[in-house]
Structure formats: C-alpha cells, structure tokens
Amino acid sequence: MDENLTNSSSQQPSATPRETAQRLTRVIEEGHGSVPEYAAPLVCKPDHVESWRVFKIMSEFVEGFDLIRRYTLAATFFGSARATLDSSVYKAATDLAAKLAQEGCAVITGGSAGIMQAANKGAYNAGGSSVGLNVRLPHPQKENDYLTETFEFDHFFVRKVMLTYASEVYIFFPGGFGTLDEFFEIVTLVQTGKIRAVPIVLYDSQYWNPLLEFINTSLLKKFQTISPKDPELFHISDTVEEAASYIKEHTKC
C-alpha cells in the first residue's frame, strides 16, 4: 500500500469526546464575546468557521426551542410574502387561522407579510397566540403588526428547524421557492419518520394541482421514486370550513 496514502490527513484519528467537549467550550467562550452586528454570508465550504458563528447557531437553537415549547398546540402557516395572490386567498388564511386560534391553537408563521400576515391577523384578532419566526435577510422582512411574540433568526436552517418542530399541523398556502422548500422538507421528514405523522394541508387546488399532477404522474407512476402511499401524506382543501374540519379531526386542535 502507498505509504503516502496511509499517512494522509484523512487517516488522522478522530477527536476524543473529551477533546471535542474542550473545543466546544473554547468556541462558545470565544464566540460569546465576538458576535458581529452584521455578518457576511457563510460560503458553501468555508476554509474557516469563526467561533462566534458556532456560538450564534447554538444560541439560536436554544432560544428557538425555548420559544416553541411554550405552545402546547400550534399550527404553522406557510405561504408567499408577496401581495400578488387573489384577495380571497389571504382572507382564507385569516379565517382559517382565526378558527384554529378559537380552538386553542397558537398560530405560527414566518412573521412577515402576505399569507404570513393574513394568518397572524386571524389569530391576533381572535385573541389567540400569534407567533412570528422571522429571518434576517439582506433586504429586511418587516415584521407584521399582528404578533404576540416574535423571534428573528440569522440562519435560515435554524429557523426552518423551529418551523418544522413547532406544530401539530402544517398548512401551505400558495407561495414561491421558500414555501415549496418547506413543503418538501416537511413531507420528507414525515415520509422518513424523522417527525411523527401530522396533518399537512395544501390550500387552493388551483395552485397545487399542477404540482400534484407531477408527483402522481412522474414521481409515482413513471419513475416510481416514491411509494403509492406517499401522496396520502398531504391533504388538499379549497374551503376554510373543510380545512378546519379536517384539521380538527386529525389533530388535537
């Protein structure tokens, strides 16, 4: 065997648990005092990860989990932050959120505009808990005015974890890349058993039907890259009353 291969850096022994703990402690201590007010984005494969960044990620996880655990029952709404949809769609988000809030569910969104604001408005006006989990972006997303509690994340993936583990039901209204990303992540986590099976509601069949057709025609029938039962992981609805009834039947709300 080539001696250079046996002595390569890839063959170096792994750190012991004690060494890992010591390094983590050092990183936390260093990072705690050096978090910048504004940080450059983390590149895909950095040569060096600053201590403060590791600390910031850990602190966001701790604070995020501390926030969501305060709500025994919750429903997370996803959807576009843009004001480009038919007004009836925003009204549906407001009305559905109000119904769930009246049943004792906290309503959780990304805390910004569009569908998120509509859902928060419904919960807020119904006297319920209305939570916004926002994210700091280069072009800031203003928090809407219908929040009873809010938290802003620096890291998108930490925020996604919080939204993923926050609720007993997930409701997807029409949206863009972010909404689709969150939908496929939730479905994948349920499919693989990484989170327990929860109701996943897709509102507005006119928007969702082309995607569902692709899932059934291409993924299921043509390429068989999903199982026949996988399309049953989510439910499509076109009325607030039907969606609320389905959610009530399949959750604790």
- Convert the pLDDT of each residue in 9-36 to its tens digit: 334 467 787 877 777 677 666 666 677 7
Domain ranges, residue 137: 65-201
Q: How far apart are CA 146 and CA 39, in angstroms?
A: 29
Q: How far apart are CA 198 and CA 251, in angstroms?
A: 8
Tell me if 135 is assigned to some domain.
yes
CATH number, domain at 186? 3.40.50.450
Element (H, E) at 202: strand 200-203
Q: How far apart are CA 173 and CA 57, in angstroms?
A: 29
Tell me if 208 is assigned to some domain.
no
Tell me if 34 is assigned to some domain.
no
Tell me if 169 is assigned to some domain.
yes
What digits encode the pLDDT tens for the residues 122-166? 999 999 999 999 998 877 678 999 999 999 998 889 999 999 889
Tell me if 115 is assigned to some domain.
yes
Q: Is the pLDDT of residue 4 over 60?
A: no
Number of domains in the chain: 1
Closest CA to 208 of 239, 240, 176, 174: 174
Tell me if 214 is assigned to some domain.
no
Q: Is the pLDDT of residue 46 over 80?
A: no
What digits encode the pLDDT tens for the residues 181-197? 999 999 999 999 999 99
Tell me if 234 is assigned to some domain.
no
Tell me if 149 is assigned to some domain.
yes
Q: How far apart are CA 102 and CA 120, in angstroms?
A: 13
